[in-house]
């Protein structure tokens, strides 16, 4: 039997995700979108959506310098969008959670539709 919070769109979600957002939640969401508003950071997040990686590997997969990649990763870490794991002298970066992954994938899927002219969908 479905939960009383379930609807035709899918299973029940925690009530906190259904309430109207307060000022703190709106500010936090705006800060996340501000981090996504930079093309280099968005690319780094997309790369990390594929799996954890270190600065050297991320630098090799993009167009930014190692210094720029490190600075962007530091901002993303301070913003709470990525986290690190140390392995010897290497620091590995990964997305903090599935929400970040879904935001990045959806933003780039939306961009793909806009660039290619493919019809939008749900």
- Domains along the sequence of the chain with CATH: 39-80+95-114 (1.10.10.10)
Closest CA relative to residue 45, chosen from 91, 112, 98: 98
Average pLDDT over residues 96-107: 96
Q: What is each CA distance from 55 to 4, 28, 32, 59, 104, in whole angstroms?
A: 46, 26, 21, 6, 19
pLDDT for residue 114:
94
**38-71 per-position pLDDT tens digit:** 999 999 999 999 999 999 999 999 999 999 999 9
Among 10-14, 61-65, 66-70, 109-113, the minimum mean pLDDT is found in: 10-14
User: Is it the case that residue 17 has pLDDT exceeding 80?
Assistant: no
Proportion of the chain above pLDDT 70, given as a percent: 87
Proportion of the chain above pLDDT 90, given as a percent: 81
Average pLDDT, the chain: 90
């Amino acid at each position: 039997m479905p939960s009383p919070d379930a609807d035709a769109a899918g299973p029940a979600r925690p009530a906190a995700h259904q309430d109207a957002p307060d000022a703190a939640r709106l500010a936090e969401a705006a800060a996340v979108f501000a981090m996504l508003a930079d093309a280099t950071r968005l690319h780094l997040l997309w790369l990390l959506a594929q799996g954890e990686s270190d600065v050297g590997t991320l630098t090799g997969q993009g167009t930014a310098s190692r210094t720029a990649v490190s600075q962007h990763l530091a901002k993303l870490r301070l913003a709470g969008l990525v986290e690190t794991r140390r392995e010897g002298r290497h620091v590995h970066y990964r997305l903090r959670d599935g929400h970040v992954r879904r935001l990045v994938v959806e933003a780039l899927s939306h961009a793909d539709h806009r660039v290619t002219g493919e019809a939008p969908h749900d």
